Structure 1
Amino acid sequence: MPELTWQKSTYSGDASNCVEIAPTHTTVHIRDSKTPITPHLAVTPTTWTDFVQYAAKADS
Structure 2
Amino acid sequence: MLRTRLTTAPDDPGTAPRSCERQRTARFAQVRAHSATVEDAATAEQFAGAYAAFSHWMLATAP
Provide TM-score, normalisation by structure 1.
0.29
Q: Which structure features the higher share of strand residues?
A: 1
Q: Compare the two structures and name the one with the higher helix fraction.
A: 2
